[in-house]
A = this chain, B = another copy of it.
Amino acid sequence: MTVVSTTPPRSAGTLDEAFALLRSQGLRLSSARRRVLEALFLAPGPLTAEAIARGFDRALPPSDLGSVYRNLEVLEGIGLVRHVHLGHGPGLYRRSGVAEPLVVCESCGTSIALDPSLVEPVATVVREVCGIDARFDHFPIVGTCATCAGQGPERRVPCTFPTDS
Given contact pairs A3-B142, A87-B85, A142-B3, A106 touches B135 in the complex (Cβ within 8 A): yes
Q: How many residues of A contact B (CB 8 A)?
A: 53
- Specify the main secondary structure of chain A where it touches its partner: loop
Across the interface, do B138 and A139 meet the contact criterion of CB distance under 8 Å?
no
**How close is A27's CB to chain B, nearest CB, in angstroms?**
24
Across the interface, do A156 and B131 meet the contact criterion of CB distance under 8 Å?
yes
Stretch touching chain B among A8-16, A45-53, A112-120? A112-120
In the complex, 12 of the A-B residue pairs with CB atoms within 8 angstroms, ordered by the A residue number, are A1-B107, A3-B86, A4-B106, A4-B142, A6-B107, A115-B129, A118-B122, A128-B154, A131-B154, A131-B155, A132-B141, A132-B143
